[in-house]
Structure 1
């Protein structure tokens, strides 16, 4: 029997841990109850901000921006460097809070905090590499160039499944680009958010930077909506469902703001007849069952060649049968709880729809540990064998639910991969170089992340993260994603003493 912490044990651990990170736990007052998915019981109560408070927060951020944009970028990088050092000091504490509030197993929770440390390292280097360009001018005695400048206040709306890392992707880069951040975190992970903010606040105080560079607003959807609609928010970075993105995108566009959207994913792996099945099974099981299927990059479809689909399905079902499900903070656990009953019910509904479409449930399904944790929702990761990609397969279900489909020719596999509204992550397992190159080519996967012989999840911060189609088109983290947080100016400098016009225009007065 898996031991599940009691309400008092988990609450005490969460509050003590938050206190060590610098959160004023004794000052938490209010009547909003927060719960842990580990046992489904109360962790603490706290108060929420209302929508009216957003205007005050953005006003403070705008004032901080006017000072921070004058600070040289390498000096801004020094703040982020210190933030990274403090994150390393509090890595274990922050990971505990992630586990308690999001239900992640310890190694994945620690991995999330390591992502925060890594993005700080990346951003520190970036602070000396915010490069513009010099272009040749067609006019003698002229210099043509572009420069990049701080953009303004960045609003961040984040989801429960990565309660710390996604905020840090935005914040570390925004800070070195010269922008303050106002953060509306998930209502489900408030202590993690407060702890992350407290760690950054310490770095800000030590560096003598404006206090309002970082603000966190605990509140309901109306607070997020106010942040989305506020004209003082230059860039709104939002992570969540496609449904949420359909609401956010137009509202930001209506006021001519910028949006960076990271939305749904319905990620697939193509497994060819030449694939190393040992490698494929390991990659698929982690991508599909890790984080209890609650990553945007979770693998939700396997498209396997008819020559290997039966064997692969059997091997996946066998591996699923051995997955340890339980308390995510206990040694040996690989699958923790789903976030709440609504998520579990959505999974069961999808399984029912898929089997109604002719699919066969070959592994998992149903609740686990309901006898020892009746208020929590531990799901058995499920595999459904399908003959065709039906409507339910093309729809993202945010759960540990994997569909296995067959294909006959590689072109058909690519077509199946692309035949969903989402376009976040994809992979191919193959030993055929031509297949790998085709999958990576313009005729291949239409996703923002396209991998070979690795699963769909587990992205590194050095590469830009994001997807196409209904995934939103945004890019965060590495590569040149920093450009979203800055404004570009094209400059022409005339040192000739004459005034020739471009394209040979003659306008002599």
Structure 2
């Protein structure tokens, strides 16, 4: 196990490697590592958020006039720097967010991928030509930059979600102000340093994408400021209930990525070898701290016992420990509050008649006594009770049974959240039923793959209490732009629409 001193020293080395300034060890926001609970250093707080917003608004006026393919050149530079520093940034993600090595590197790869996507997108901000009823007229749509975009991110994906938003916003011609989670400010400092170097190489003002570090009050400032055209906020449903109405009250836009309570339906025809692998990663990966983590399994009663036995066997072999150890598959929870939620949910599940069939204990890791490690838990539930319908950000997998597919889909949809979902089946009819309008009500629906994890090519987001926002691929770029409908009269007449006559 890496010692407390080593983590702090290693963090300094990694920051230097990406060109970031050393941390102030005397004041500011204390950054800790969930691996050991060690304080990595103190990140300076942003003292004047208003000035940052003003600089972003000023930069927008010139940046919005830069041709989109030229804006893509900045994104290209960022992608190249991320490739160059992937290992260093990935390790920082592991140290500060507690992700295992491959997941830390995977998060940075996701940033690289969205940069590649953004470069191509910079030449594909297409509008439409629309048929008009009036002779001698042409009607079309154009997309224009929106303004300043505030990006508020969560600890579990401390850098990738910033990139999803910032790359699209920059290509769209917007400027960005980023408030990272107070739990993961160090990775934000590292990414900002890389971005500023990319801006220098591209000959662009770094004011087009800035960082603000602070507490809830900083986020509220971004939410309430009328100079912010779009607030993209990732976090809990509770947070979204506050952000959405406040942004709407000033007629701004909100893009919300909130809670998930993701399920997998396992059908009698499912390939159980594939199913077990898919379920275990989705439920235990990232210690259950993804918004797309698998929380519920709805399995046909004919295969339920077999599946639970196999899941239990797989869980018993999961190495829990320091995420910096290459053999570890389950790292720490982010903090003690997360552990409290884990314990409380298990207690509530037992009171509701649930039986813990695997895991459920705290794990003591040598050399990391202040780290919060738990054994991922499997709980068989007699019904979908309140605790099951509530998202707990920890590795708890509730298992329930069904007898027919309609019952399973109804159970699947009977939660407030609507982010990601999956079905495991080799029956084409079952798969297509799940993907139809009468099937999953989530923004993401998968077949023979778990709900956790997504490629950047598709739009990411969900429905209901998940917030309805869409980020990353497909046409999510439209959230960061404004649409204008243009009608051009190239005739010498002035016909009115709908046959209206006047004068």
The bucket for the TM-score relative to the shorter chain is over 0.9
2:314 pairs, out of 319, 325, 333, with 319
Counterpart of 2:38 in structure 1 is: 41
RMSD: 1.0
Separation (CA, whole Å) in 1 of partners of 2:354 and 2:365: 26
Map of 1:428-443 to 2, 5 A cutoff? 428-443=423-438
Q: Does 1:134 align with 2:129?
A: yes
Separation (CA, whole Å) in 1 of partners of 2:235 and 2:29: 22
What number of residue pairs does the alignment pair up? 503
Counterpart of 2:327 in structure 1 is: 332
1:427 pairs, out of 417, 422, 425, with 422
Q: Does 1:496 align with 2:468?
A: no
Deviation at 1:370, TM superposition (A): 5.0
Deviation at 1:174, TM superposition (A): 0.5
8 Å contact from structure 1 (residues 184, 217) kept in 2: yes
Map of 1:23-172 to 2, 5 A cutoff? 23-25=20-22, 30-50=27-47, 53-172=48-167
8 Å contact from structure 1 (residues 119, 461) kept in 2: yes
1:230 pairs, out of 215, 225, 229, with 225
Counterpart of 1:14 in structure 2 is: 11
Separation (CA, whole Å) in 2 of partners of 1:476 and 1:409: 34
- Unaligned 5+ residue runs, structure 1? none
Separation (CA, whole Å) in 1 of partners of 2:79 and 2:211: 18
Deviation at 1:332, TM superposition (A): 1.1
8 Å contact from structure 1 (residues 292, 338) kept in 2: yes
Counterpart of 1:174 in structure 2 is: 169
8 Å contact from structure 2 (residues 149, 232) kept in 1: yes
Deviation at 1:74, TM superposition (A): 0.4
Separation (CA, whole Å) in 2 of partners of 1:26 and 1:487: 39
Deviation at 1:334, TM superposition (A): 0.3
Separation (CA, whole Å) in 2 of partners of 1:71 and 1:456: 39
Q: Which secondary structure does the structure 2 equivalent of 1:350 belong to?
A: helix
Q: Which secondary structure does the structure 2 equivalent of 1:25 belong to?
A: coil
Counterpart of 1:347 in structure 2 is: 342
User: Bigger CA drift: 294-303 or 133-142?
Assistant: 133-142
Counterpart of 1:246 in structure 2 is: 241
Separation (CA, whole Å) in 2 of partners of 1:143 and 1:13: 61
Counterpart of 1:295 in structure 2 is: 290
- Unaligned 5+ residue runs, structure 2? none
8 Å contact from structure 1 (residues 28, 47) kept in 2: no
8 Å contact from structure 2 (residues 23, 42) kept in 1: no
Separation (CA, whole Å) in 2 of partners of 1:480 and 1:33: 38
Deviation at 1:129, TM superposition (A): 0.5
8 Å contact from structure 1 (residues 29, 46) kept in 2: no
Q: Which secondary structure does the structure 2 equivalent of 1:260 belong to?
A: strand
Separation (CA, whole Å) in 1 of partners of 2:83 and 2:2: 27
For normalisation by structure 1, the TM-score amounts to 0.98
Q: Which secondary structure does the structure 2 equivalent of 1:399 belong to?
A: coil
User: Bigger CA drift: 10-19 or 24-33?
Assistant: 24-33
For normalisation by structure 2, the TM-score amounts to 0.99
8 Å contact from structure 2 (residues 264, 298) kept in 1: yes
Q: Does 1:477 align with 2:472?
A: yes
8 Å contact from structure 2 (residues 418, 443) kept in 1: yes
Deviation at 1:6, TM superposition (A): 1.1
Deviation at 1:29, TM superposition (A): 5.5
Map of 1:257-296 to 2, 5 A cutoff? 257-296=252-291
Deviation at 1:47, TM superposition (A): 2.6
